[in-house]
Chain A
Amino acid sequence: RKEVEQDPGPFNVPEGATVAFNCTYSNSASQSFFWYRQDCRKEPKLLMSVYSSGNEDGRFTAQLNRASQYISLLIRDSKLSDSATYLCVLRASSNTDKLIFGTGTRLQVFP
Protein backbone atom coordinates (compact mmCIF):
# COMPACT_ATOMS: atom_id res chain seq x y z
CA ARG A 1 0.00 0.00 0.00
CA LYS A 2 1.33 3.44 -0.91
CA GLU A 3 2.13 5.76 1.98
CA VAL A 4 0.10 8.55 0.41
CA GLU A 5 -2.81 7.95 -1.96
CA GLN A 6 -4.69 10.43 -4.06
CA ASP A 7 -7.34 10.13 -6.74
CA PRO A 8 -5.44 11.11 -9.90
CA GLY A 9 -8.51 12.71 -11.49
CA PRO A 10 -8.85 14.67 -13.62
CA PHE A 11 -11.56 16.63 -11.91
CA ASN A 12 -13.23 18.76 -14.58
CA VAL A 13 -15.31 21.55 -13.03
CA PRO A 14 -16.85 24.80 -14.32
CA GLU A 15 -15.72 28.18 -13.12
CA GLY A 16 -17.36 29.07 -9.83
CA ALA A 17 -17.77 25.47 -8.70
CA THR A 18 -16.67 24.07 -5.38
CA VAL A 19 -14.39 21.06 -5.58
CA ALA A 20 -12.85 18.86 -2.90
CA PHE A 21 -9.89 16.49 -2.96
CA ASN A 22 -9.07 13.85 -0.41
CA CYS A 23 -5.77 12.21 0.35
CA THR A 24 -5.27 9.18 2.58
CA TYR A 25 -2.10 8.16 4.34
CA SER A 26 -1.09 4.83 5.80
CA ASN A 27 1.27 5.76 8.65
CA SER A 28 -0.57 6.95 11.73
CA ALA A 29 2.66 8.53 13.00
CA SER A 30 2.70 10.98 10.09
CA GLN A 31 3.25 14.63 10.96
CA SER A 32 3.23 17.98 9.18
CA PHE A 33 0.80 17.86 6.31
CA PHE A 34 0.84 20.10 3.27
CA TRP A 35 -0.85 20.75 -0.03
CA TYR A 36 1.37 21.72 -2.92
CA ARG A 37 0.27 22.93 -6.31
CA GLN A 38 2.10 21.98 -9.50
CA ASP A 39 1.42 23.56 -12.86
CA CYS A 40 2.20 21.64 -16.01
CA ARG A 41 5.98 21.35 -16.53
CA LYS A 42 6.68 23.53 -13.50
CA GLU A 43 7.99 22.95 -10.00
CA PRO A 44 5.71 22.16 -7.05
CA LYS A 45 4.81 25.21 -4.98
CA LEU A 46 3.55 25.21 -1.43
CA LEU A 47 -0.15 26.02 -1.37
CA MET A 48 -0.79 25.65 2.33
CA SER A 49 0.09 23.73 5.44
CA VAL A 50 -2.65 21.68 7.07
CA TYR A 51 -3.23 22.17 10.77
CA SER A 52 -5.00 19.82 13.14
CA SER A 53 -7.87 22.23 13.68
CA GLY A 54 -8.27 22.89 9.96
CA ASN A 55 -7.32 26.11 8.27
CA GLU A 56 -8.45 28.45 5.55
CA ASP A 57 -6.63 30.68 3.13
CA GLY A 58 -9.01 32.68 1.00
CA ARG A 59 -10.94 30.26 -1.19
CA PHE A 60 -8.94 27.26 0.04
CA THR A 61 -9.76 25.20 3.11
CA ALA A 62 -7.67 22.31 4.39
CA GLN A 63 -8.79 19.72 6.90
CA LEU A 64 -6.99 16.93 8.73
CA ASN A 65 -8.74 13.84 10.09
CA ARG A 66 -6.20 11.86 12.09
CA ALA A 67 -8.69 9.18 13.15
CA SER A 68 -9.44 8.27 9.54
CA GLN A 69 -5.97 9.23 8.30
CA TYR A 70 -6.91 11.61 5.56
CA ILE A 71 -6.52 15.23 4.66
CA SER A 72 -8.73 17.23 2.37
CA LEU A 73 -8.56 20.37 0.29
CA LEU A 74 -11.66 22.35 -0.59
CA ILE A 75 -11.57 24.99 -3.29
CA ARG A 76 -14.51 27.37 -3.46
CA ASP A 77 -15.46 29.57 -6.42
CA SER A 78 -13.00 27.84 -8.75
CA LYS A 79 -11.03 30.01 -11.16
CA LEU A 80 -9.50 29.05 -14.48
CA SER A 81 -6.13 29.73 -12.86
CA ASP A 82 -6.77 26.98 -10.30
CA SER A 83 -6.20 24.40 -13.05
CA ALA A 84 -3.17 22.44 -11.87
CA THR A 85 -2.16 19.24 -10.12
CA TYR A 86 -2.53 19.27 -6.34
CA LEU A 87 -0.02 17.21 -4.38
CA CYS A 88 -0.68 15.84 -0.93
CA VAL A 89 2.51 15.87 1.13
CA LEU A 90 3.38 14.76 4.63
CA ARG A 91 6.28 14.23 6.96
CA ALA A 92 6.55 10.53 7.77
CA SER A 93 7.18 10.86 11.51
CA SER A 94 8.30 13.24 14.21
CA ASN A 95 11.98 12.26 13.95
CA THR A 96 12.51 13.09 10.30
CA ASP A 97 12.35 16.18 8.13
CA LYS A 98 11.92 14.18 4.94
CA LEU A 99 8.67 14.57 3.06
CA ILE A 100 6.56 12.00 1.25
CA PHE A 101 4.65 13.10 -1.82
CA GLY A 102 1.45 11.82 -3.32
CA THR A 103 1.18 11.46 -7.08
CA GLY A 104 -1.27 14.33 -7.29
CA THR A 105 -4.84 15.08 -8.29
CA ARG A 106 -5.34 16.98 -11.52
CA LEU A 107 -7.91 19.76 -11.61
CA GLN A 108 -9.17 21.32 -14.82
CA VAL A 109 -11.46 24.32 -14.50
CA PHE A 110 -13.37 25.19 -17.65
CA PRO A 111 -15.21 28.41 -18.61
Chain B
Amino acid sequence: DAGITQSPRHKVTETGTPVTLRCHQTENHRYMYWYRQDPGHGLRLIHYSYGVKDTDKGEVSDGYSVSRSKTEDFLLTLESATSSQTSVYFCAINDAGYEQYFGPGTRLTVT
Protein backbone atom coordinates (compact mmCIF):
# COMPACT_ATOMS: atom_id res chain seq x y z
CA ASP B 1 0.00 0.00 0.00
CA ALA B 2 1.12 3.54 -0.77
CA GLY B 3 2.34 5.39 2.30
CA ILE B 4 -0.45 7.93 2.59
CA THR B 5 -2.19 8.95 5.78
CA GLN B 6 -4.95 11.44 6.38
CA SER B 7 -5.93 13.19 9.57
CA PRO B 8 -8.33 13.45 11.15
CA ARG B 9 -10.20 10.39 9.91
CA HIS B 10 -13.52 11.70 11.17
CA LYS B 11 -14.61 15.18 12.12
CA VAL B 12 -17.85 16.88 13.07
CA THR B 13 -17.82 20.64 13.01
CA GLU B 14 -20.26 23.50 13.04
CA THR B 15 -21.17 25.77 10.17
CA GLY B 16 -18.87 28.76 9.95
CA THR B 17 -15.85 27.21 11.66
CA PRO B 18 -12.52 26.74 9.89
CA VAL B 19 -11.35 23.18 9.30
CA THR B 20 -7.99 21.86 8.11
CA LEU B 21 -7.46 18.36 6.80
CA ARG B 22 -3.99 16.93 6.47
CA CYS B 23 -2.55 14.52 3.94
CA HIS B 24 0.86 13.03 4.64
CA GLN B 25 2.87 10.83 2.30
CA THR B 26 6.12 8.95 2.78
CA GLU B 27 6.66 8.20 -0.93
CA ASN B 28 8.36 11.50 -1.86
CA HIS B 29 5.96 11.87 -4.79
CA ARG B 30 5.63 15.25 -6.45
CA TYR B 31 1.97 15.19 -7.33
CA MET B 32 -0.75 15.34 -4.71
CA TYR B 33 -4.52 15.79 -5.06
CA TRP B 34 -7.55 16.48 -2.92
CA TYR B 35 -10.93 15.01 -3.92
CA ARG B 36 -14.36 14.91 -2.42
CA GLN B 37 -16.77 12.03 -2.89
CA ASP B 38 -20.53 12.43 -2.63
CA PRO B 39 -23.41 10.10 -3.51
CA GLY B 40 -24.35 10.37 -7.17
CA HIS B 41 -21.04 11.97 -8.09
CA GLY B 42 -17.73 10.50 -9.00
CA LEU B 43 -14.71 11.71 -7.12
CA ARG B 44 -14.33 15.40 -7.88
CA LEU B 45 -11.02 17.22 -7.82
CA ILE B 46 -10.80 20.13 -5.39
CA HIS B 47 -7.16 21.21 -5.63
CA TYR B 48 -3.90 19.66 -6.68
CA SER B 49 -0.19 20.26 -6.29
CA TYR B 50 2.78 19.59 -8.52
CA GLY B 51 5.34 20.35 -5.86
CA VAL B 52 6.19 22.53 -2.89
CA LYS B 53 4.34 25.84 -3.13
CA ASP B 54 2.94 24.82 -6.54
CA THR B 55 -0.82 24.37 -6.30
CA ASP B 56 -3.81 24.91 -8.54
CA LYS B 57 -7.59 24.67 -8.54
CA GLY B 58 -9.66 21.72 -9.55
CA GLU B 59 -13.28 21.62 -10.66
CA VAL B 60 -14.87 22.22 -7.21
CA SER B 61 -12.42 24.57 -5.50
CA ASP B 62 -14.84 27.25 -4.22
CA GLY B 63 -14.69 27.46 -0.43
CA TYR B 64 -11.42 25.53 -0.21
CA SER B 65 -7.76 26.50 -0.06
CA VAL B 66 -4.62 24.40 0.08
CA SER B 67 -1.01 24.69 1.08
CA ARG B 68 2.06 22.61 0.46
CA SER B 69 5.14 23.77 2.32
CA LYS B 70 6.82 20.34 2.34
CA THR B 71 6.82 17.54 -0.22
CA GLU B 72 5.21 15.15 2.22
CA ASP B 73 2.32 17.31 3.43
CA PHE B 74 -0.68 18.71 1.56
CA LEU B 75 -3.22 20.62 3.65
CA LEU B 76 -6.82 21.33 2.70
CA THR B 77 -8.58 24.17 4.52
CA LEU B 78 -12.24 25.01 4.62
CA GLU B 79 -12.13 28.65 5.65
CA SER B 80 -15.73 28.72 6.87
CA ALA B 81 -17.37 25.32 6.70
CA THR B 82 -20.86 24.98 5.21
CA SER B 83 -23.27 22.04 5.25
CA SER B 84 -22.67 21.52 1.52
CA GLN B 85 -19.08 20.61 2.40
CA THR B 86 -20.21 17.56 4.33
CA SER B 87 -18.47 14.83 2.38
CA VAL B 88 -15.74 12.24 2.34
CA TYR B 89 -12.39 13.75 1.41
CA PHE B 90 -9.64 11.72 -0.20
CA CYS B 91 -6.07 12.64 -0.80
CA ALA B 92 -4.17 10.99 -3.65
CA ILE B 93 -0.63 10.88 -4.97
CA ASN B 94 1.13 9.84 -8.11
CA ASP B 95 4.64 10.06 -9.43
CA ALA B 96 5.64 9.68 -13.04
CA GLY B 97 2.67 7.61 -14.18
CA TYR B 98 -0.99 8.47 -14.36
CA GLU B 99 -2.24 6.00 -11.77
CA GLN B 100 -3.24 7.64 -8.52
CA TYR B 101 -3.08 6.08 -5.07
CA PHE B 102 -5.45 7.19 -2.37
CA GLY B 103 -5.31 7.81 1.33
CA PRO B 104 -7.91 6.27 3.67
CA GLY B 105 -10.18 9.33 3.59
CA THR B 106 -11.60 11.84 6.05
CA ARG B 107 -15.29 11.78 6.80
CA LEU B 108 -16.39 15.38 7.51
CA THR B 109 -19.79 16.37 8.80
CA VAL B 110 -20.75 20.04 9.01
CA THR B 111 -23.78 20.64 11.24
- Inter-chain CB contacts under 8 Å: number: 41
Query: Contact: B99 with A104, CB < 8 Å?
Result: no
Which A residues are in CB contact (< 8 Å) with B104? Answer: 42-43
Interface extent on B, as a size class?
20 to 34
Interface centre among B41, B94, B101, B102 (most CB of A within 10 A): B102
Q: How far is the CA of A34 from the CA of B42 in the complex (A)?
A: 14
**Which one of B31, B94, B102 lies within 8 Å of A45 (CB-CB)?**
B102
Contact with B along A81-103 (1 / 0, CB 8 A): 00000010001000001111111
Q: A4-B42, A44-B43, A87-B42 are in contact. Are A99 and B100 (CB under 8 A)?
A: yes
A44–B100 alpha-carbon span in the complex (Å): 9
Complex Cα–Cα for A44 and B94 (A)? 14
Judging by beta carbons under 8 Å apart, are B99 and A49 in contact? Answer: yes
- Contact pick for A91, options B42, B98, B102, CB 8 Å: B98
Q: Are A44 and B90 in contact (CB under 8 A)?
A: yes
Contacts of B43 in A (CB 8 A): 44, 87, 101
Q: A4 vs B1: C-alpha distance in the bound complex, in angstroms?
A: 27
Contact B94 A34 (CB under 8 A): no
Decide: B98 and A46 in contact? CB cutoff 8 A. Answer: no
**B7 CB → nearest A CB, Å:** 14
For B102, give the chain A residue with the smallest CB separation: A43
Contacts of A104 in B (CB 8 A): 42
Q: Which of B40, B42, B44, B99 contacts A46 (CB 8 A)?
A: B99
Given contacts A46-B99, A87-B42, A101-B42, 17 further A-B contacts (CB under 8 A): A34-B98, A42-B104, A43-B104, A43-B105, A45-B102, A46-B101, A49-B99, A97-B31, A97-B98, A98-B33, A98-B48, A99-B98, A99-B100, A100-B42, A101-B44, A103-B41, A103-B42
Query: Residues of B at under 8 Å CB distance from A?
Result: 31, 33, 40-45, 48, 58, 90, 94, 98-105
Chain A positions near chain B (C-beta within 8 angstroms): 4, 32, 34, 42-46, 49, 87, 91, 97-104
